[in-house]
Structure 1
């Protein structure tokens, strides 16, 4: 009897990194090149994150980038990883993704998260026109988005007893797939209660993954569109022909995460040469090594084996790669060869 599991499907989460000397336009162009390559390699989906006011991250408006990526690709699913719902009115989110689904039917994923995606000042600016998606009403707003995007839309009951029909788009024939993102008991329990697919944000925090996934699967309530639980995990990855190159290309992002977690000023992503030339202090170096041990950093054979091991251990048939490979100073500003290389070598 053959007990060998098939290789897990591969997908991509893109934060659209911005490195030293690179403009926003060049960073976005490099991501468009990457999504085209992911499409050609046969990867399953390509998601854009939502982060605000970060010098090293150009992923602030997932719907805009999804539209651009969908227009440049043929078959890969494109989506958000995720829309941070507390920053947005549910109707606006539903309308944006219903329009994207109409432009690329059957290819749109709406990944939704509960975190703000920025600091308190920017969060306040995002909500300056009034309350949007109150965190305490997160489950209600998820249900509203699902209803608004459905072909029949949602029916509101007004204070005078009348009803009012609302549709995110006039004549939907297909709807985006809604995924709930998270790394906590709360998100896993809510996804299970609503019968939604769930993504564990392992690239951000791998703590408690087995417990969280067990909560999701054990508590899952089948829904009409998702009769069975469905989940995958994310993973920071740098793959190169040699271990030395992989470790060098991982260093800029490792150092950036260490600065973030120790409250140090953030700038654009360093080149590999800059990262090698400016060592962190003892605390930072220890943090870098701790994170490196949880990332996928190595040669193609090692990396593919580790992806398969992780997928088998956690019972998932898909792994979403966050390609965090840095660039050497000599590499073009409108491309990210290290990130392209990571996907190509993993895809085999």
Structure 2
């Protein structure tokens, strides 16, 4: 393993106060282009629904846009929430993406719905969505549909029907299983697939999930050895004080989510500081985040990330850059997130 882990990016396309979704998407596409220039390995978009602070609802659309703005970095989903989608639709979307950016597409698949029960029901109204109890079958269906052999539909009355995802990809997108439980780790191991534990969101159970995945891994032709990396919330700034200020709005957003409080667009740093004095929303959550998130000056944050990667035996960390904006910063860019990526790339470069 190299001294410094490779870096990747997970993007939820945050929407701040007074910012339109169009401005938030523009900021994220600029960030993807900057990550490409800085040498990041991959750039993934999440799938979340009905959240005022998140514009990442349709990963395939955002992946296509990011692919046209980049030339080297892998782009993908972190992830597509399979219960919301028919396997054939997912296979076709990612076959099309592979045609747009050959050899650069990752298909990360998750089992969670990515929203609340009401939105889940709305997503399922067409009847075309995936039964969560058949998640393992549908993962394998997607892999088969994207392969040269395709998938075979067998009729109860007899006979078969061959199905292929079109446009036919050259190399198929690389499939990853995502999760925050033992179940996802064990399924990825049994299928011989790459696996990512959602450490940026949960963190509890990371060691056990990685151990189960590695111990139970069954080699596959594409992946003879287990393949995994870590996700981590991170903010880097010239000073620790600035880094902690930029982290506060996201800490408070996480506290809202965990406390079932009404969700709002992401606060500016100034709004978060002012509100914290009155509502104490960031109290316990701030302590939890300070223990688990990577927030600080560049060298300090890079050192903690190196130790984190070494402790868990990985050579890649996917950063969720959770740096919020100050009120006077442009709405069509993300200076704090861009700064985080640039500072960490420099601090974790082989020459650093």
The TM-score range, normalised by the shorter chain, is: over 0.9
- Determine if the alignment matches structure 1 residue 262 to structure 2 residue 259: yes
- Determine if the alignment matches structure 1 residue 294 to structure 2 residue 292: yes
Query: What SS does the corresponding residue of 2:306 show, helix, strand or coil?
Result: helix
1:345 is aligned to 343
Contact 1:11 1:318 in 2 (8 A): yes
Q: What is the CA-CA distance between 1:157 and the residue it aligns to?
A: 1.3
Paired with 1:173 and 1:45, the residues of 2 have a C-alpha distance of: 20
Consecutive unaligned residues in structure 1, runs of 5 or more: none
Paired with 2:154 and 2:263, the residues of 1 have a C-alpha distance of: 47
What is the total number of aligned residue pairs between the two structures? 345
- Determine if the alignment matches structure 1 residue 71 to structure 2 residue 106: no
Q: What is the CA-CA distance between 1:162 and the residue it aligns to?
A: 1.0
The correspondence for 1:319, drawn from 317, 331, 334, is 317
Deviates more, 1:238-247 or 1:280-289: 280-289
2:136 is aligned to 139
TM-score by length of structure 1 reads 0.97
1:181 is aligned to 178
Deviates more, 1:153-162 or 1:180-189: 153-162
Deviates more, 1:284-293 or 1:231-240: 284-293
Query: What SS does the corresponding residue of 1:156 show, helix, strand or coil?
Result: strand
Paired with 2:159 and 2:80, the residues of 1 have a C-alpha distance of: 32
Contact 1:254 1:292 in 2 (8 A): no
Query: What SS does the corresponding residue of 1:256 show, helix, strand or coil?
Result: helix
Q: CA RMSD in A?
A: 1.1
1:150 is aligned to 147
TM-score by length of structure 2 reads 0.96
Spell out the pairing of 1:51-62 with structure 2 (5 A cutoff). 51-62=48-59
Paired with 1:267 and 1:170, the residues of 2 have a C-alpha distance of: 40
Deviations 1:105-134 (A, max 9, x none): 100000000010001111101010115211
Deviations 1:279-300 (A, max 9, x none): 1645741222222221000000
Spell out the pairing of 1:162-181 with structure 2 (5 A cutoff). 162-181=159-178
Paired with 1:231 and 1:303, the residues of 2 have a C-alpha distance of: 21
Spell out the pairing of 1:74-85 with structure 2 (5 A cutoff). 74-85=71-82
Paired with 1:204 and 1:53, the residues of 2 have a C-alpha distance of: 18
Paired with 1:77 and 1:186, the residues of 2 have a C-alpha distance of: 27
Spell out the pairing of 1:12-31 with structure 2 (5 A cutoff). 12-31=9-28
Paired with 1:283 and 1:17, the residues of 2 have a C-alpha distance of: 19
Deviations 1:13-56 (A, max 9, x none): 00000000000000000000000000000100000000001000
Paired with 1:183 and 1:222, the residues of 2 have a C-alpha distance of: 22
Spell out the pairing of 1:161-310 with structure 2 (5 A cutoff). 161-279=158-276, 281=279, 284-310=282-308
Runs of 4+ with deviation above 6 angstroms: none
Consecutive unaligned residues in structure 2, runs of 5 or more: 347-352
Contact 2:192 2:219 in 1 (8 A): yes
